[in-house]
Structure 1
Amino acid sequence: MSPAKRRGILIGGALLVVVVVVAAFFLLNSGGSAPQAEAGAGATSVENPGALDPHSAITEYLQDLSENNPDAAGRLTDDDTAAAVALRDTRNTLNPSSVTAKLTVLQPTPAGAKQTGGTFNVSWALKPGQVWTYDVPFQLAQVNGKWLVHWAPSLLHPKLEAGQRLVISTAVRDTTAVADRDGKPLLVSGSGGVRPVDGDPAPLLRSALTGQVTAAAGNGFAVERVDTSGKSVETLFGQAAEGEAKALTSSLSLAAQNAAQAAVDSYQGSAMLVALDTGSGDILAVAQNRAAGNSPKALNGLYEPGSSFKIATSVAAVQQSGLDAGSPVDCPGVATIGTRTVKNEGFELGATNLQTAFARSCNTTFGQLALALPADGLKKAADELGLNADYEIPGINTELGKVEPAASKDEQVEDGFGQGRIQASCLGGALMAATVASGKAITPRLWHDVETKVVKGYSPPPASVLGQVRTLMRAVVSSGTGRGAASAGTVFGKTGTAQFGDGSNATGWFVGYRGNVAFSVVLENSNDSGPAVTLAAKFLKAL
């Protein structure tokens, strides 16, 4: 679920009594030098964020800190990016039930003064009976007429230095903190906090995993200050336990995660891959390569799905228009449908059947099929495939898609081949494929110990409809645009190439399933679905 939709997750009484182990993997940047005074005369005038007076600057900063609004708090500092990242990661690391930050001392500011300082008190409610309270000195400076808080790691704790970080640990000796669904360690906890096992198998989910780590045995709980290597410098609060703690069990499969990461890392451009278990809804793997960046776009980035959305159009055509895989359809190379001129990628099939048109990804066919549907026909099909569903999965923010009724006939035509206002995420593509494979609604989960909350569920298409769609998806790999995955076994899939912007660039898609593994591959700016098929085949062959 996205942050805008997020609701507070109520954790049952049983979870309230367990020991929480959390670690953060972030570097607290920025030095400790004093802030610079206001720019002198002749400097370029730039309107800066900040407050009109020192009291407003620090009290607004503390309010944003207390209310978990790191971006707003960062804008009240002289290093907004570093501040926002550090504040957000610290909150995720300590995972408090509440934070209270109050001003205690603000030094008088004589007329004309450009700098001042003071002290505030912060309290972290970390777990039942564990409240960490301390005082923090701060500095303020007037910059371009606005008062800003000087950012330094010491604003998080007065002993914290540049390059150091805070971790929470429950064990003195290394123990498994998070295991994959087969019991293989993903994270370990010990002196210096929680850290990935060798190889860092799930870098994109590191924060999500560390933020949910729970120990079911022992009373150890300590906040530590560690250096850049992860070595403990000092215990700031509490005490770690001598005994072992019970590990959380993640839905991830270490084998699938390693295969997914290796597959995306083999591609030079931006690549992401999500895999789901079609039976349990387990999130088996979430991977992005370096070119895709650190933001978890695989889980919540929305893209036009292109022809991969023809899965939904086919569901609608079979269910609402009475077609089947053998139904006759036309596939001209170019067609005027409504007022839109629709083209295929340099081919025409003429009179053919639905299976062949789907396998070859005929846009002109699917534009015509979409136009014959009611205005909300594609939206209903997308609903049944889970693209408009919504879940709260502890530790991660997710978006599956956004499919609304067409606002016009022209838009309806474009929606039929995923080029209108249709949007889906990589996770949404995997969920769509898993629904076709299993014939049931899928509730994705990252944990075996903590439940996913269904905010908005869905009901799948009838079995008879899905039987026809499976036939279509198999033909894509056996004789159509997904032939590059044929060597990976009995694969069902659908390719997609979605143009965006001025049409000069396109996102490549391949969604599908093999056995009980559903997958979705998204390649930004690939301009072709072929590399997505190749990447998916690498992933499947490695399983």
Structure 2
Amino acid sequence: MRPAVRKAVLAAGAIAVVAIVVAAALVLRGGGSGDAAGGGATDVRAPAAPTEPSEVAAAFLRAWAGNDTGAAGALTDDPGGAAVALQAASSALAGTAVKTTPGQVSGSSATFKVSWTLGPSRVWTYDSTLTLVRAGDGWKVHFVPSLIHPELGPGARFAVRSSGGGTAVADRDGKPLLTWQSDGAKPSGAAVAPLLAPGMARVAGEAAQGWAVLLEQADGTEKTLYSEGNPVRPLTSTLSTAVQAAAQAAVDAQGAPAMLVAIQPSTGDLLAVAQNAAAGGAPTALSGLYAPGSTFKIITAAAALERAAATPDTVLPCPGSVQIGQRRIPNDDEFSLAPLPLHSAFAHSCNTTFAQLASGLPADALARTANQFGLNADFTIPGIDTELGKVVAARDSAAQVEDAIGQGTVQASPLGLALMAATVAAGKAVTPKLWRDRATTVNTGYQGPPDAVVGALRSMMREVVTNGTATALQGSGRVFGKTGTAQFGDGSGANGWFAGYRDDVAFAVLLLGTNSSKPAVAASASFLSRLG
């Protein structure tokens, strides 16, 4: 990891060397008394105060080079101001050791070279000029800030920004998520996603390979005076501090292991990735694969609609249970409804309706349709590892009907279901992104479903909230979605899901072991209420 931005003294122990080289060959008058004629005796008298321009210039440069800012200031026509300015520059650039080479003054001015060594292989060199003015019987260096650097003016100061400087990663609005510290990029105190912080720090560290010397003006503006390597601006993520805070608060309020992923459908930007402590430290929200339960009926409905097996208004049976081949499919608590349109069966999550519908579809229909919603896509997002889902062609009719209700072999992660919901909201394929500055690599892409299918799904997902299994979200604005309950293990326990969207925020919520989708719906309401 690289060191932090320095605006005052750089990291302890750093040695900065300022080499001030007068461009012309300064000829110093006199030369101290050496051995007396005949040898032996040494003249130890203090040298006389410099009076000639060349002597004053050389003495000033030696004092500055020796970091004796008081002595250097005394040789100027502004002793106090010069001493303060020289010390400020030295502190900002960590000028603790200086070398000088005397040269020659031309008339009342001298050009000289300044070289600051800021660390291994980090040397900043530039030319500057000083002028001398009469002061009584002698001469003084006329002090102005531009003597230190030609562009240094009143109120301005130097700053060094390197791969360890200031904000390492900012959110989509420029708010710091990670800042550079002595041991690398660390959370800044904002509501950074804990699951993403290590990966984002790694990406920032890989990107920050340069350094720069900046001139900070009194009004806060900056100008780069010198730079080497890659730009050292902070990386910008797609995360929203506000959405992340809302997501984290929503999952933290749950007693069961809970996770939430939010995506912006219009851009693919990841807005939030949240898990509570009960869910553990592994990035389950991004790569954990689970049976999606009835949220997968979005895929089953789309497969039937696209293949003209039904329309939203096709009336279908919804018995309490149904036997299809060797597989008995029940509704939740074996509720039964009179024959009803497909859109109503979707809203009430009739397992038996969708199992019967899927039994007449080709064996690869669900897998092909899942491809259109991104569940079989694969992306490389810098800094994070992701798994979206796994949906393959059914091996037999029993597997087909189990898959149709989100059990069987179908799997999805919270990120995968958030992407599925985002695809419905956007009406097209969505590429998830975490960075403004780093592209997502599409390893296996996808094309979204037909427009007619998207339109029907939106209406059906809205009905889930207005008159179905997610009516608890009626007060949360215009929400579209689908609930899901998925058994695991020996079937005695189940996880609860909600996947949906509101406006330009698509999201998926998963609570483990709740045996109902109601807690996931409640967590969704909590999340949306915090978004305002």
Encode CA deviations 1:61-108: one digit per residue, 9 max, x unaligned: xxxxxxxxxxxxxxxxxxxxxxxxxxxxxxxxxxxxxxxxxxxxxxxx
Query: In terms of mean alpha carbon deviation, does 396-405 or 324-333 score higher?
Result: 324-333
Question: Given the alignment of the two structures, is residue 196 of structure 1 paired with residue 187 of structure 2, yes or no?
Answer: yes
Alignment counterpart, residue 443 of structure 1, candidates 431, 454, 461: 431
Structure 2 equivalent of residue 105 of structure 1: none
Taking the TM superposition and a 5 Å limit, the aligned residue runs for 1:13-412 are 171=162, 175-213=166-204, 214-215=207-208, 218=211, 245-346=232-333, 347-412=335-400
2:260 partner SS = strand
TM-score normalised by length of structure 1: 0.64
Give the letter for the 1:350 counterpart.
A
**2:455 corresponds to which of 458, 467, 476:** 467
The equivalent of 1:48 in structure 2 is none
Number of the residue aligned with 1:146: none
**Displacement of 1:170 after TM fit?**
6.7
Alpha-carbon separation, structure 2, partners of 1:172 and 1:524:
41
Per the TM alignment, residue 217 of structure 1 is displaced from its structure 2 partner at its CA by 5.5
Residue 493 of structure 2 is aligned to residue 502 of structure 1: no
How big is the shift at 1:318? Answer: 0.4
Name structure 1 gaps, 5 residues minimum: 1-18, 23-128, 131-168, 221-240
Partner of 1:10: none
CA distance in 2, matches of 1:254, 1:201: 7
Residue 66 of structure 1 corresponds to none
State the one-letter code of the partner of 1:319: E
Flag structure 2 segments of 5+ consecutive residues without an equivalent.
5-120, 123-159, 214-227
Cα distance in 2 for residues equivalent to 1:319 and 1:409: 20
Q: Deviations over 1:26-82 (max 9, x none)?
A: xxxxxxxxxxxxxxxxxxxxxxxxxxxxxxxxxxxxxxxxxxxxxxxxxxxxxxxxx
- Alignment of 1:529 with 2:517, yes or no, is yes
In structure 1, the residue matched to 2:422 is: 434
2: distance between equivalents of 1:188 and 1:382?
A: 40
Distance 2:524 2:169 in 1: 27
1:171–1:191: 8 Å Cα contact kept in structure 2?
A: no
- The SS at the match of 1:386 is coil
- Is the contact between residue 162 and residue 212 of structure 2 (CA under 8 Å) also seen in structure 1? no
- 2:446 & 2:355 partners in 1: Cα distance? 26
Structure-2 residue corresponding to 1:519: 507
Answer with 1 or 2: which has the greater Rg. Answer: 2
Which residue identity lines up with residue 207 of structure 1 in the other structure?
Answer: P
Amino acid at match of 1:432: M
Q: Give, in angstroms, the shift of residue 204 of structure 1.
A: 1.0
The 3-state SS of whatever aligns with 1:298 is helix
Map of 1:133 onto structure 2: none
Q: Describe the superposition over 1:383-434 as per-residue Cα deviations: whole angstroms up to 9, x where unpaired.
A: 1111000000011110000000000101101111011100000000000000
Question: How many residues of Structure 1 are paired with residues of Structure 2 in the alignment?
Answer: 362
The one-letter amino acid of 1:187's match is L
Q: Which moved more, 1:406-415 or 1:190-199?
A: 190-199
Deviation at 1:254, TM superposition (A): 0.5
CA distance in 2, matches of 1:395, 1:172: 17
CA distance in 2, matches of 1:340, 1:322: 21
Report the Cα distance in structure 1 between the residues aligned to 2:489 and 2:163, rounded to whole angstroms: 54
Q: In the alignment, which residue of structure 2 is the partner of 1:122?
A: none
Q: 1:7-37: per-residue Cα shift (whole Å, max 9, x none)?
A: xxxxxxxxxxxx9789xxxxxxxxxxxxxxx
Residue 193 (structure 1) shift: 3.0
Question: Which amino acid counterpart does residue 180 of structure 1 have in structure 2?
Answer: D
Residues 3 and 164 in structure 2, CA contact (< 8 A), matched pair in contact too: no
Give the deviation of 1:457 after TM superposition: 0.2
Q: Which amino acid aligns with 1:309?
A: F
Deviation at 1:219, TM superposition (A): 5.6
CA positional deviation for 1:312: 0.1
Q: Over residues 255-302 of structure 1, what are the superposed CA-to-partner deviations in whole Å (9 max), with x where a residue is unaligned?
A: 000100110000011000000000110000000000000000100000
Residues 172 and 275 (structure 1), Cα distance of their counterparts in 2 relative to 1, 3 Å cut? closer
Aligned residue in 1 for 2:526: 538
**3-state SS of 1:272 partner:** strand
- Supply the AA of the counterpart residue of 2:479: V
Residues 144-190 of structure 1: per-residue CA shift (max 9 Å, x gap)? xxxxxxxxxxxxxxxxxxxxxxxxx9759861111111111111114
Q: Contact 1:439–1:466 at 8 Å: present in 2 too?
A: yes
CA distance in 2 between counterparts of 1:297 and 1:323 reads 36
2:118 aligned partner:
none
Tell me if the contact between 1:335 and 1:364 (Cα under 8 Å) persists in the aligned partners.
yes
Q: Distance in 2 between matches of 1:467 and 1:373?
A: 21
Per-residue CA deviation, residues 103-134 of structure 1 (Å, 9 max, x unaligned), is: xxxxxxxxxxxxxxxxxxxxxxxxxx99xxxx
In 1: Cα distance, 2:430 partner to 2:190 partner? 30
Q: Once the 2 structures are TM-superposed, how far is the Cα of residue 500 of structure 1 from its aligned partner?
A: 1.1
Contact kept in structure 1, 2:375 and 2:416, CA below 8 Å: yes
Question: SS of the counterpart of 1:203?
Answer: coil
**C-alpha separation between the residues in 2 aligned to 1:258 and 1:427?**
18
1:201 CA drift (Å): 2.4
Written as runs of structure 1 = structure 2, the 5 A alignment for 1:452-463 is 452-463=440-451
Distance in 1 (alpha carbons) for counterparts of 2:366 and 2:168 = 44
Deviates more, 1:201-210 or 1:388-397: 201-210
Distance in 1 of aligned mates of 2:416 and 2:524: 16
The answer as to whether partners of 1:493 and 1:512 remain within 8 angstroms in 2 is yes
1:480 aligns with 2:468: yes
**Equivalent residues of 2:265, 2:425 under 8 A apart:** yes
Superposed, 1:410-429 pairs within 5 Å as 410-429=398-417
Q: Measure how far apart 1:323 and its partner are.
A: 2.1
AA aligned to 1:429 is L
Residue pair 2:2, 2:182 contacting (<8 A) in 1 also: no
Q: Conserved in 1, the CA contact under 8 Å of 2:177 and 2:190?
A: no
Mapped partners of 1:173, 1:211: distance in 2: 13
Q: Secondary structure at the match of 1:204?
A: coil
Q: Is the 8 A contact 2:483 2:521 kept in 1?
A: yes
Q: Distance in 1 between matches of 2:188 and 2:310?
A: 51
Is the 1:426–1:520 Cα contact (8 Å) retained in structure 2? yes
